[in-house]
Structure 1
Amino acid sequence: MGSSMDVLEMAVMLSSLLLPASPLARDHQDLTTRNLNMTFDPREWKLSWECQENATNVACFMIHKEGPFKKKPEAKACHCTFSPLPLSDGVTFEVKMTINQSLFMGRLNYPNSGGEGTAPQNISCFIYDARFMNCTWEKGPAAPGDIQYFLYVRASEKEETECPHYRSDSGTHVACHFDDLQYLTFHNYFLVNGTSQQVGIQFSDLFLSLQEIERISPPANTSVTCNTSHCLIRWEKPRTYHRLSHWDLQYQLDIRQQGSEDGDDPKPVPKRKTPAPCTSTCWWFWEPSPSPWSSGFFLRGSL
C-alpha cells in the first residue's frame, strides 16, 4: 500500500512539472530588448521613441523612487508624457509593445551623472515680504575646490530663469536672491547644477509650491479700542505673494497680564457675541477697561 502511494505521489509531481508555463511566465521569457532610439525631454517630461510598424499594446513605464508609473500613449503616438517629479535620484524609462505576436521592450536610463557627493545639499527657498525670495544650499561633501553652482527656476512650461543675484562663500555660489517673482506659478521646479574642471558634478532638484515656502508677514495696522464695557481689536490681513482669502489665514490672539513673561501661559480671551459687524480680522470681547491683564497682546497669523 505504501509503495502504491509513493508511485501516486511521484506521478502527481511529474504531471505538475510537465504543465505548460503560464502566459505571464511565457511573456517574460519571450521579452526581447530592442533599440527604439528612445529620448527623454526633462523640460516637457516627454518620453519619445522610434515608431515601429504593426506595434500594438504599447505601454510606457517610469521607474522612479516614488514608485513605478505606467502610461498608455494616444493611438499611433510614439511618445508618453509623465507627471513631473525630481530627477536627481535617477530614473529609468521602459517602452513595451507587441509586434507580430512577439513582445519587445526598449529601455532608457536617465542617471544623475557626476562624482558621488558633488551635488549641492539642503536646498531651501522661502518667499518673504510678498515680493522677495531667497534660496540657499550647501556644498556637496566631495565637491572639488573649483566647484561652482548655478540655480535655475522653472514655472510650469515657461523658460528657465537663472538666479539674478548670487551670494558666494569662498568664491562658490551658496545662495541666491530674487527681487522679481512675477514668473512664478503655484508649483515651481528648482534645479541647482554645477561645473568643475576636475570632475563631473551631479545636480539636485525639487518641486516647491508657493504655499509651502512663503513666510507670512505679521498682521498690519493693529489697533485696540476699549471702553468701560468691552474692547475691540482690529488688524489688516498681511500682504502675500500667493493670493489668500480670509478663510486661508488663521489668527491666534494672546492677551497677557501686565508684567508677565513670554513663557507664561496667556489668559484665555473671553470672546462673546459680537454686537457690531466684525470680520475675520477683528476680535470683540467683553472686558471692562482698564484691566490688569489687558495691557499687552500678541497677534500671530498662520496658514
Structure 2
Amino acid sequence: MLHPDKGPISLKPWKKECRCVFPDCALHQGVTLTVTVNTSQTQVSEKLVYTNPGGEGTAAQNFSCFIYNVHFMNCTWAPGRAAPDDVQYFLYIRDSKKRERECPRYVSDSGTHVGCHLDDLSGLTSYNYFLVNGTSQTTGIQFFDSVLRSKQIERYSPPANISVQCKPSSCLIRWERPSAHFRLDDRDFQYELVIQRQRIEVPGDSQNQYIFPSLEPRPKHTVKIRTGDARDAQDPRWGAWSRPVEFGSEDPDAGVVHVYVLIVLGTLGCALALGCLVKRFLRRHSLFQPVPRIKDKLNDNHPTDLQDVWEEFPAGAGKAEHEEVVTVQEVDRAPVSG
C-alpha cells in the first residue's frame, strides 16, 4: 500500500490466505493498493486506487480532540469550505480492539454538528480511530478520518495543593502532581510557573517543588502553575492555569518603605553615636589642661632681663619666729673734692 503520508507499507499474507489486514491509518487523502503475486513462472501485479468519494472541499476540517479533567473528552471540527448549507456531520470512534461507537452528545452550530462531548472514556484505548462523515441532499460529502494516541491528546489539570513557605532569603513552592487518564511517569510531566510575570519551567522529576530566591522584606507576590507534556518539546500541550496563590506583604511598596526606614534609622544612629564621641572627647580635653612649665631664663633662647625676679609670697609665708629683716639701700657715692 502506498500511503500519501506514511509512504509504502508492505505486508505478506499468511500461508494459504488471500487477504491482508493493515493497521489503522488515515485514508481521507486516498491510497494506492498494489497486490503482487509470485509464481514459478512469472510475477503478477495489480493496483487498486482507493479514493475519497464526494465533492471536493466538503469534508469536515480543523478536526481535533483533547482529554481534560481526566474523565472527559471534547472533539471539534468545522464544515468544509465547499460544504452545502444542509450538510450534517457524524462522528464515529473505533478503539484498538475494533469496538465502534457514535458520539453520544453532539455540539451544534445553526443545526450543524461541529463537535462532540464524551463523559465516559472507558472505551478508549492507547490509540483510537476517528471518522467524521457527512450527508447532504444536494451533493456527496467526503469523509475525514484520523488516528490519535490517547496520551498525546490529553491536557493535564493544574497541580493541586499549591503551598508557599518563606524564609528570610527564599520561598519554597510545593505542589502535587495532577491526575491523568493514563498511567504516566513523573518525567513525562513538566511545569511552568509564573511569579510576577517571570516564567519558570520546572521538570517533572524535581520532587514537585521550586525554591524562589526572595529577600525579606518582600512585597506581595502571586504564583500560578500549569502542567505540560515533557515528551513533546515542540508542543507540550499546556493545560489550564491554577488559581493564583499569594505570598509576601499586602503592601506592594512595603519592601521599599522598610528599606528606606532602615536606612534613615541607621543614619540617625550613626550621627548620634558620632556626636556622643565628639562631646566626650571635648569634655575630656577640658578637664586635663596642659601644665605650664617654669620659665628658664638661662637656657631659653631669648635675652634675659638684668633685674632679678623675685617670687611673690603671701604675707607670713615662709617666715620664722625671729626673722631679721635687713634692708639694703643703694647710696650714690659722692664725688671727691679736690
TM-score by length of 2: 0.61
SS at match of 1:79: coil
Deviation at 1:287, TM superposition (A): 4.9
Structure 2: any 5+ residue segments left out of the alignment? Answer: 230-338
Q: Larger radius of gyration, structure 1 or 2?
A: 2
**Alignment of 1:255 onto 2:162:** no
Quote the residue 2:116 is aligned against.
Answer: 176
Q: Distance in 2 between matches of 1:92 and 1:184?
A: 30
Deviation at 1:243, TM superposition (A): 2.1
Quote the residue 1:302 is aligned against.
Answer: 228
Deviation at 1:175, TM superposition (A): 0.9
Q: How does 1:137-148 map to 2 (within 5 A)?
A: 137-148=77-88
**Alignment of 1:85 onto 2:12:** no
Q: Distance in 2 between matches of 1:109 and 1:160?
A: 26
**Alignment of 1:64 onto 2:26:** no
Q: How does 1:108-257 map to 2 (within 5 A)?
A: 108-228=48-168, 230-256=170-196
Deviation at 1:213, TM superposition (A): 1.6
Shift in alpha-carbon separation, 1:194–1:254, aligned structure 2, 3 A: closer
Q: Distance in 2 between matches of 1:194 and 1:230?
A: 59
Aligned partner letter, 2:148: L
Q: Distance in 2 between matches of 1:196 and 1:162?
A: 19
Aligned partner letter, 1:298: K
Contact 1:226 1:289 in 2 (8 A): no
Higher mean Cα deviation, 223-232 or 198-207?
223-232
Quote the residue 1:283 is aligned against.
Answer: 210
Shift in alpha-carbon separation, 1:98–1:248, aligned structure 2, 3 A: closer
Q: Distance in 1 between matches of 2:74 and 2:109?
A: 16
Quote the residue 1:101 is aligned against.
Answer: 41
Q: Distance in 2 between matches of 1:254 and 1:182?
A: 35
Q: Distance in 2 between matches of 1:133 and 1:104?
A: 48
Q: Distance in 2 between matches of 1:253 and 1:96?
A: 57
SS at match of 1:199: coil
Q: Distance in 1 between matches of 2:222 and 2:113?
A: 44
Shift in alpha-carbon separation, 1:220–1:79, aligned structure 2, 3 A: same
Aligned partner letter, 1:173: H
SS at match of 1:89: coil
SS at match of 2:9: strand
Deviation at 1:229, TM superposition (A): 5.4
Please list the CA deviations of residues 16-72 of structure 1 after superposition, one character each: whole Å capped at 9, or x if unmatched: xxxxxxxxxxxxxxxxxxxxxxxxxxxxxxxxxxxxxxxxxxxxxx02102122222
Give 1 or 2: higher strand fraction.
Answer: 1
SS at match of 1:71: coil
Q: Distance in 1 between matches of 2:40 and 2:212?
A: 79
Deviation at 1:148, TM superposition (A): 1.0
Q: Identity percentage over the alignment?
A: 51
The CA RMSD over aligned residues, in Å, is: 2.5
Shift in alpha-carbon separation, 1:255–1:122, aligned structure 2, 3 A: closer
Aligned partner letter, 2:4: K
Q: Distance in 1 between matches of 2:35 and 2:149?
A: 31
Using CA pairs under 8 Å that are at least 6 residues apart, name the structure with larger relative contact order, 1 or 2. 1
